[in-house]
Chains A and B, each alone.
Chain A
Amino acid sequence: MDAIVANPSSATAAAHVMPGSGFKVSARDCNVYYGEKHALKSVSVDIPDRSVMAFIGPSGCGKSTFLRCINRMNDTIPICRVTGKITIDGQDVYDQSLDVVQLRARVGMVFQKPNPFPKSIYDNVAYGPRIHGFAQSRAELDQIVMTSLEKAGLLKEVKDRLTDSGTSLSGGQQQRLCIARAIAVSPEVILMDEPCSALDPIATARIEELIDELRSNYSIIIVTHSMQQAARVSQRTAFFHLGTLVEEGETGHIFTNPNDKRTQDYITGRIG
């Protein structure tokens, strides 16, 4: 399967195709309106399991908006309206019967700015498992916290000071703590909204390594402004422009031989 959606017209054409198996997340004809503003126009895309998908595009192109549709984070904005269909494993996330809390447990999120809770490192990671009742005992909870920190590559640095405040860590450590917090509730998909934009190059490199490791267990969608980052960490890349999904395909293909002129202009720095 190559790029399914190349431009809005072909997206409409593809709308009747049912989300295929083998894809973790599928969107069909997804539109987002902020009040009168049509922020996302008829986006259809399929995101495979156990791989990294990067969304690139200039600021205000709708990539973060689309990302936040997948775990219904846009629900918190009163004027936001979403149409179309987004499915995870074939299940519609905007289905009335689906509980948004359960959805967000399945779809974890890491934000642009590291936002640990002003609580201890332990409590930061344990919060999710606690509210979802994952652990029957303290030992089990400890196990979840340790495993999550281990997976996020943070355990070595913080294991002696788990009771320190999460906000006392450095920026990169805070962001890895946020990743640990997200994977503590064992999600299937992890959404990352420019996770490295507030970090220095060394911390960025650590996060990128981590993303590469996490790829074997999770479906990861990352929004990034750095095309090098997209090229480094992702297997597939989607380019958004002015609210439309312009082109999607294998990362190598997008960066070397894009089909669309706009994609080419963007990656060569002519628009942005």
Chain B
Amino acid sequence: MISKYLIVLLGFNLLTLIFSLSKATNNQDNLISYLIFALLTLALGFLINKVRKTNQTDSNIQTTSNLTWKKLKRNKNAVFGLIIIIILVYISILAPFIMPHDPLEMNWGKTIQKPSLEHWFGTDEFGRDIFSRAIYGVRIALGIGLLAVVLNTLLGTFLGLIAGYYGGRVDNLIMRAIEMWNSIPFILMAIALIAALGTGLLNLILVVSITGIMQFARVIRSSVLGLKKADYVLAAKVMGIPDRQIIIRHILPNCIAPIIVLATLRIGEMILTIAGLSFLGLGIQPPMPALGSMLSSGQQYISENLMMSIVPGTMILLIVFAFNLLGDGLRDALDSKLSN
């Protein structure tokens, strides 16, 4: 079932790998992108292999991942979201091979041009190609968004697990601390933190990833509270298995569903936050192309070239929209408890 789509994808990957080989060694950026893409292809191959094996051995037994896939597939929105995300991820990894121009290349003779054959979405105030910049902007937005979400997830999950599992005082302490943390308006805190730490990619990732751990910790804590009373956990405890192992082996795997759902939904929020910070001049710094700053400079040229604001704005919208669609679908498919 699922493997059919994956094989098509694999075929596409292999073809792309062959065609872009000539460009791969042009510079470091290209080489890294090429290697990441090769790794992705390899992973895809393994996945297909695994799915096939499980399908062959017990075709009658419905595994959870199979079930989830079936549920998810029925949800047209989620599939739509997933497809957009896959396309965006492909675009952002393959950016160096797709971009018709260097996103940094300026051309003072061709500033603020309307779309043409040479520049599909026109050019900006530096004469840079908007299409290439948008692609590169998606790459950066996704990269930062993913990193921040991973950090955010790790932190939130960790706190939620500890609070839920140990309960009592630890729980109280952690939850109160998070509550206090959360009562500072988050955008203010982000601005203050960036002002204190300075602008830069790393700081940006750090700041957005610590500003929203509340939701994570809360949800994970409540599912841990439920799991804690499950028979197998109690049994493990009686057997004297250390807490750390119980948490990692028995509790964490059962929290994966809400974690994935929340993380998916959070990516969108993070990308919006980063765009907001860029709008205030605190996000990604030029000359690196970033959707948020493209949008805010596009506003200065709203009557000269609408493309300058529409393209980055739509890209942000598309990314966030796709992740929200998928997140909603995953929530329905994975976890009914989370539907609030």
* Chain B binds chain A: no
Binding site for A on B (CB under 8 A): none
Binding site for B on A (CB under 8 A): none
